[in-house]
A and B are shown apart, each in its own frame.
Chain A
Amino acid sequence: MNNSKYYEKVSVLEALKKGSIDIKLSALFMGFANLANKQIIKGLLFLLSEILFLITFVLQVIPSIHGLITLGTQKAGEVVDPDTGITITVSGDNSFLFLLFGLAALIFCAVFAYIYWCNLKSARNLYVIKKEGLKAPSFKEDVATLSNSRFHMTMMAVPLLGVLVFTVLPLILTICLAFTNADKDHFPPGNLFSWVGFENFGNIITGRMAGSFFPILSWTLIWAVFATVTNFFFGILLALVINTKGLKFKKFWRTIFVITIAVPLFISLLIMRNLLHPDGPLNELLKNWGLIQQSLPFLTDPTWAKFSIIFVNMWVGIPYTMLVSTSIIMNLPQEQLEAAEIDGASKFQIFKSITFPQILLIMTPTLIQQFIGNINNFNVIYLLTGGGPVNPEFYQAGSTDLLVTWLYKLSFESSRDYKLASVIGILIFVLSATFSLIAYTRTNSYKEGAVK
């Protein structure tokens, strides 16, 4: 039995105003209404959570929030103890942990606020129950609703905790880093970082990082457009070629291409990297055949590398599109195609006006997802060229680096420029969100699939 609708005709505020003293008091002493109405266990649980919260608030939350504001004041090093005059070594404050615990404290408060709200709702429910002369549910009955009307809460509790700790908290933490000066010279242990406001954003948009950021951004977009369009277009062509009337062994041809999808991506990309190596088999073959005298700089020259990456990506991606569009082509209404053939339409006309638009219609959501995926396509770039060849004009980036690989390099390679990496992360998010929003509003299928 689901009663929440039934209770909700009375608002919490109204119940607090009109309710008897026990309802009113539960705003101050959590669980008071439950205790006064024989819901002993529930009442005690509420009361206990309030007491625990108050103790933690004083002992942990207040210092943590203070730490969040200052991000630490004491550097690691030697200080003179004012009482004794002796020099002692201190480990110093850890700005990163201060930030982490400060945010954790804020989340803890939010969780408590939710429990508090549940307490008020519970008091409101008791108010309704008393007014209508019903019997208050026992603790056992309350627990039983967890396997029925509130089953979703039981099921989602643990996954959501995981999301909170391993997705939401790290994300907020990283976003915060974008507003600090955290880098290898300002990072614990040993050093402190502090809040700097929008300085890093200014640095990237107009400051000294702009010379690296805008070229990398434009290559990211060019790459994403070419990677998506070439895969899509040639994938459909391949599917159509294999589907040619009268062609034998269709399944055999398809399987050849599907095998390459099945090979783990990191393996096939590493193979490609070595295949295109200056001393690799492709160059050796071309030399043996006398087509070239010197090795072609497939991955070592900026322009060559960009083309090689797009071609390798076609090798990786075309079979995917082929696989998906084959199933679409097979399900296209045949009558329309036959009618067009009888009317004397050429193969190209049929493709242009019937087949292609229909495939496009069905695959638009996938296409947009692929485009966003390509903006964030870490593996292809990192495994093929590692962003190289090195470009001396860029800050810590190579000629083929995308924003994501640049972000990775800034976080984990020698520069350890966390503040810059976080700003780039936020900008990538803005980029993806913009394109998703366009997709979301333009295509109905995407909308239906997402929120229904």
Chain B
Amino acid sequence: MKSKKHIRLSLTYLLLTLLSIAWLFPIAWVVLTSFRGEGTAFVGYIIPKTFTLDNYAKLFNNEAFPFAKWFLNTFIVAAATCVVSTFITVVMAYSLSRIKFKFRNGFLKLALVLNMFPGFMSMIAIYYILKALNLTQTLFALVLVYSAGAALGFYIAKGFFDTVPYSLDESAMIDGATRKDIFFKITLPLSKPIIVYTALTAFIGPWMDFIFAKVILGDATEKYTVAIGLFSMLAQDRINVWFKSFAAGSVLIAIPITLLFMYMQKYYVEGITSGSVK
């Protein structure tokens, strides 16, 4: 009996080890490639023969792909989007959760319907609207588009506000507080976790998106965000020269985002499960 259990446990360890190798292999390969000194895009082995930091250095001292500039662009867009869209999301979620106004249910249904249209569908129209406003190829347009999307992404935050007891609002109202006071002095201080979650998600967004950014920024290489920049390094005619630097850039971007995600993990799981367990 005991040995049977022992064998089963050993098999489990073996299985998990194999799976871990399968899952970590691509990541290990990219990290190793980013330090590889020799060869072009692909070589016939995994462990580099020479190690170097040149691929990282190349990102910061070349004219064609100004990685530092891209990093700064993305940071500006991400920070601005983070502030604006967190505010918008929280405000929408709070209004739709706490205040019972006439068109509330109608609006919730409309938002559901609007969210069902594929985002790429209206991209071409958004591009021409921005063009009519003379905003294409600007970072401001990116902030505008990312933040406008936040107004319909209120579901997780709304779920959170739904759990804040309404009796708090009522007792404050009896004491003569206005809705504004309740929002700023009672609800917001209680909502720190969801604000942190919303802000981090909004901050990460611009680092990941490259389709909208590419459509809006076109060929203005100076204005690129890191995602489009890295993507453009892999074009057919560039990949051999730039692949190792692409790997280096990926590592540089992945590290902060991985850390942020590890920190957010708890909120992420709660967001998914709390909506359904009731």
Enumerate chain B residues within 8 angstroms of A366, measured Cβ to Cβ: 272, 276
Which of chain A's residues 406-449 have a Cβ closer than 8 Å to chain B? 407-408, 411-412, 418, 421-422, 425-426, 428-429, 432-433, 436, 445-446, 448-449
> Is residue B59 contacting chain A, with contact meaning CB distance below 8 A?
no
A275 partner residues in chain B, CB cutoff 8 A: 26, 29
Tell me, yes or no, whether B80 is within 8 Å of chain A by CB: no
Nearest chain-B residue to A96 (Cβ)?
Answer: B128
Q: Please state if B253 and A264 are interface contacts (CB–CB under 8 Å).
A: yes
Complexed CA–CA distance, A409 and B17 (Å) = 41
In the bound complex, what is the Cα–Cα distance between A177 and B246 (angstroms)?
A: 39
Contact present for A451 and B105 (CB under 8 Å): yes
Q: List the B side residues contacting A449 at CB < 8 Å.
A: 155, 159, 275-276
* A12 interface residue per 8 A CB criterion: no
Query: Are B124 and A418 in contact, CB atoms less than 8 angstroms apart?
Result: yes
Binding site for A on B (CB under 8 A): 5, 9, 12-13, 15-16, 19-20, 22-24, 26-27, 29-30, 41-46, 88, 91-92, 94-95, 99, 101, 105, 108-109, 112-114, 116-126, 128-129, 132, 144-145, 147-152, 155, 159, 162, 178-180, 183, 207-208, 210-211, 215, 227, 230-231, 234, 243, 246, 250, 253-254, 257-258, 261-262, 265, 268-269, 272-273, 275-278
- Inter-subunit contact B99/A152 (CB<8 Å): yes
> Are the CB atoms of A166 and B278 closer together than 8 Å?
no
| Pair B23/A260 contact, Cβ less than 8 Å | yes
Partner of A267, one of B41, B152, B230, B277: B230
Inter-chain contact B5/A378, CB cutoff 8 Å: no
- Shortest C-beta distance, A186 to chain B (Å), equals 14
Q: Determine whether the beta carbon of A270 is less than 8 Å from that of B231.
A: yes
A160, B111: Cα distance in complex, Å: 11
Is the beta-carbon distance between A323 and B269 smaller than 8 angstroms?
A: yes
A173 at the interface (CB under 8 A from B): yes
Whole-angstrom distance between the Cβ of B20 and the nearest chain A Cβ: 5
Given contacts A100-B129, A428-B118, A429-B117, contact A315 B23 (CB under 8 A): yes
* A256–B24 touching, CB < 8 Å: yes
Contacts of B19 in A (CB 8 A): 238, 257
A contact residues around B278 at 8 Å (CB)? 445, 448
**Residue A272, interface by CB 8 Å:** yes
Cβ of B37 to closest chain A Cβ, rounded Å: 17
B162 and A159 within 8 A (CB)? no
CA gap between A170 and B122 in the complex, in Å: 5
Closest to B263 in A: A262
**In the bound complex, do residue B29 and residue A166 qualify as a contact, i.e. CB atoms below 8 Å apart?**
no
What 7 pairs between A and B have smallest CB-CB spacing? A425-B121, A151-B179, A170-B125, A170-B122, A166-B148, A262-B261, A162-B148
Between-chain CB contacts (< 8 Å), 30 pairs: A100-B132, A151-B179, A152-B101, A155-B95, A166-B126, A166-B129, A167-B148, A170-B126, A171-B125, A174-B124, A241-B15, A246-B5, A246-B9, A247-B12, A247-B13, A253-B16, A262-B261, A267-B250, A267-B254, A271-B26, A288-B45, A327-B273, A362-B273, A362-B277, A411-B120, A411-B124, A425-B121, A432-B116, A432-B118, A445-B276
